[in-house]
């Protein structure tokens, strides 16, 4: 039995961030499927003990329980990527990675809400979350336009980092809530590179070929 | 939008909620462009009402509780909700998968459900796999006595007939008992003399917006609930991308310009049936009239 356990919902974009990274790292892990829709099992007493916020993903390893996609990515990078490729230690790079992870956990989460609203009818102020999600995508597009102008394919520096993993799912799944990729050419080029990461996996809503 | 004037659509029964979700707190939703509200009143009595222009509950609507769901109609249904004999068998496992909303006409979803040709491409390694792409000859007909569409003698190679199960040739029968309900009977891999039933109930919200609920009546005491849910939901999301990207979103009833292939037979019969009924809601033809 693998010692890593991921509490997972197949259709959840935040869980996909973690599955994507575990795939890229080539880590073996156990997956516990949680009945989020329609069962709301993630808000049951059993899961509230693991994450009082009542949300997935949750990762456990021995006595450690850690929740939230960005925190889990950081933990996995420090623990299993000894070459420090995915989370470089250089202060300038590390700082910018933290900046974009915070972006992923704040404004970009509007995209997750918009998608959950469009798919599962989760209550949300539709106008507001759509506007916020589009703003997040616009900021990412502007950033990647600059990066590509400087001849780099990745969000930070010249190699893929956990930022690329953290930011990919929301935009890749944006068609689930009616936001097409046509208006984001730089992000489309970037997404093609993310798809090329060894160990890349898809999820429903992200076609294997495009 | 406002309530449709399409009598054919108004007179049908529609599943609008899972019974387990019908409680003391009234819930508002929309059916055929009309806002409605449902809930459980005193004495546990379930009711559905139209919501009038001022936002107050208006006319009470007919209700039924069938197949784990609350059903209603905005018109005067001329028949009862279709009967499913398998639902009366006591050893069935009932799996209610959860509503998923889709930006498309509910009729597009029915047509997609009837189509086997897309299995290997849209549901690779689940419902189909290359190079097994051929749809063998099957029969599709309008059954006049019951006014339903049936497709029989359908076969297809599936790499995973049930969740985490082995692959093989699956034997399917499709049934469309009303324009927004579609189901399939599948020869049960574990007991070949019985049929698994997978239904899809569609609540048409607007012409090009619907929510759909898969409900399964299975012979399966082996799979876990979560595996069954995941299996169905993954397939459902794969289909959602396809139907939301079809243009027009509304279903054209006129024959397609290109020559239909053998695999399109069910679609041709389904469209002909809708046209004969005079259904307009959710069709490209009806949609044009309403604009
Ligand atoms: Fe499908």
Q: What is the DSSP string of A21-78?
A: HHHHHT---EEEE---TTT-GGGSHHHHHH-TT--S-EEEETTEEEESHHHHHHHHHH
Cα–Cα dist B134/B44, whole Å: 52
Is the whole model's pTM more than 0.80, yes or no? yes
Question: pLDDT of A31-59, one tens digit each?
Answer: 999 999 999 999 999 999 999 999 999 99
Residue B186 located in a structural domain? yes
In this prediction, residue A61 carries a pLDDT of 97
Total domain count, chain A: 2
Looking up residue A99, the CATH number of its domain turns out to be 1.20.1050.10
ipTM of this complex > 0.85? yes
B271 Cβ under 8 Å from any chain A Cβ: no
Give the closest-approach CA distance of B22 to chain A in angstroms.
Answer: 14
Closest to A33 (Cβ–Cβ): which among B103, B226, B237? B226
Omega before B131 within 30 of 0, i.e. cis? yes
Mean pLDDT of chain B: 92
Question: Do B211 and B115 have their domain in common?
Answer: yes
> What is d(CA A79, CA A65) in angstroms, rounded to the nearest whole number?
14
What CATH number is given to the structural domain containing A39? 3.40.30.10
Q: Does residue A20 sit in helix, strand or coil?
A: helix
Query: Are residues A120 and A53 part of one domain?
Result: no
| Residue A208 located in a structural domain | no
* CATH number, position B210: 3.90.380.10
What b/e readout covers A28-60, taking b as 16+ CB neighbours within 10 angstroms? ebeeebbbbbbeebbeeeebeebbeeebbbbbb
Distance B189 CA to ligand 1 centre (A): 20
Q: Would you say residue A43 lies in a domain?
A: yes
CA quadruple B96, B102, B106, B107: dihedral sign: negative
Give yes or no: residues A96 and A181 share one domain. yes
Q: What percent of chain B has pLDDT over 90?
A: 79
Measured between CA atoms, the residue of chain A closest to residue B97 is A38
Q: Is residue A86 part of a domain?
A: no
Q: Can you state the angle between helices B225-244 and B106-114, rounded to 10 degrees?
A: 110
Domain that includes residue B59, residue range: 7-72
Residue B291 forms part of a structural domain = no
Domain shared by A126 and A187, yes or no: yes
Q: Given the DSSP bridges, would you call strands A4-8 and A30-33 parallel, antiparallel or unpaired? A: parallel
Minimum CA–CA partner of B124 in chain A: A208
Domain boundary among A80, A102, A131: A80
User: B125-157: per-residue pLDDT in tens?
Assistant: 889 998 899 999 999 999 999 999 999 999 999
- Single out the residue in B42, B72, B102 at which a domain terminates: B72
Q: What separation in angstroms does the CA of A84 have from each of A87, A88, A89?
A: 5, 5, 7
Taking the centre of ligand 1 as the mean of its atom positions, its distance from the CA of residue B214, in whole angstroms, is 12
In a domain, B77, yes or no: no
Quick one: A120 and A186 in the same domain? yes
The pair of structure tokens assigned to A17 is 């961030």
In a domain? residue A209: no
- Are B97 and B226 members of one domain? yes
| Closest approach of B233 to chain A, Cα-based (Å) | 8
What's the domain range around A21?
4-80
pLDDT in 10s for each residue of chain A, 210 residues: 459 999 999 999 999 999 999 999 999 999 999 999 999 999 999 999 999 999 999 999 999 999 999 999 999 999 999 999 999 999 999 999 999 999 999 999 999 999 999 999 999 999 999 999 999 999 999 999 999 999 999 999 999 999 999 999 999 999 999 999 999 999 999 999 999 999 999 999 998 765
Residue B290 confidence (pLDDT) above 50: no
Q: Are residues B53 and B91 in the same domain?
A: no
């Amino acid at each position: 039995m693998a010692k890593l356990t991921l509490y997972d919902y197949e259709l959840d974009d935040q869980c996909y961030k973690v599955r994507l990274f575990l795939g890229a790292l080539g880590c073996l892990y156990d997956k516990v499927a949680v009945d989020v829709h329609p069962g709301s099992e993630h808000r049951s007493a059993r899961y509230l003990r693991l994450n009082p916020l009542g949300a997935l993903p949750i990762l456990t390893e021995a006595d450690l329980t850690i929740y939230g996609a960005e925190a889990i990515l950081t933990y996995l990078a420090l623990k299993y990527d000894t070459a420090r490729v995915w989370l470089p230690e250089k202060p300038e790079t590390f700082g910018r990675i933290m900046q974009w992870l915070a972006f992923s956990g704040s404004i970009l989460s509007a995209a997750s809400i918009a998608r959950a609203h469009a798919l599962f009818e989760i209550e949300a102020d539709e106008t507001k979350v759509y506007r916020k999600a589009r703003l997040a995508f616009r900021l990412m597009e502007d950033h990647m336009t600059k990066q590509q102008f400087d001849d780099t394919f990745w969000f930070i520096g010249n190699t893929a980092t956990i930022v690329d993993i953290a930011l990919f799912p929301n935009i890749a799944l944006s068609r689930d809530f009616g936001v097409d990729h046509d208006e984001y050419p730089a992000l489309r080029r970037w997404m093609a590179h993310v798809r090329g990461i060894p160990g890349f996996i898809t999820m429903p809503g992200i076609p294997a070929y495009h | 939008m406002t309530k449709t004037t399409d009598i054919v659509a108004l007179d049908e029964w529609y599943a609008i909620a899972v019974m387990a979700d019908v409680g003391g707190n009234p819930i508002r939703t929309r059916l055929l462009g009309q806002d409605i509200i449902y809930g459980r009143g005193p004495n546990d009595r379930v009711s559905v009402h139209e919501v009038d222009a001022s936002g107050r509950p208006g006319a009470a609507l007919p209700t039924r509780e069938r197949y784990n769901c609350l059903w209603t109609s905005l018109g005067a249904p001329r028949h009862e909700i279709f009967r499913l004999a398998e639902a009366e068998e006591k050893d069935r496992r009932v799996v209610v998968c959860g509503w998923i909303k889709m930006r498309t006409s509910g009729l597009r979803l029915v047509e997609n459900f009837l189509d086997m040709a897309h299995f290997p491409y849209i549901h690779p390694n689940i419902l189909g796999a290359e190079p097994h792409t051929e749809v063998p000859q099957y029969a599709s007909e309008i059954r006049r006595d019951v006014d339903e569409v049936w497709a029989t003698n359908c076969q297809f190679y599936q790499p995973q007939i049930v969740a985490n199960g082995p692959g093989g040739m699956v034997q399917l029968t499709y049934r469309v008992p009303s324009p927004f309900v579609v189901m399939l009977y599948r020869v049960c891999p574990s007991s070949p003399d019985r049929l698994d039933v997978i239904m899809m109930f569609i609540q048409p919200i607007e012409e090009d917006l619907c929510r759909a609920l898969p409900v399964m009546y299975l012979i399966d005491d082996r799979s876990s609930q979560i595996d069954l849910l995941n299996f169905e939901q993954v397939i459902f999301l794969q289909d959602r991308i396809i139907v939301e990207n079809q243009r027009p979103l509304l279903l054209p009833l006129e024959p397609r310009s290109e020559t239909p292939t053998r695999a399109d037979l069910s679609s041709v019969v389904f469209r002909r049936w809708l046209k004969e009924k005079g259904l307009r809601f959710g069709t490209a033809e009806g949609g044009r009239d309403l604009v």
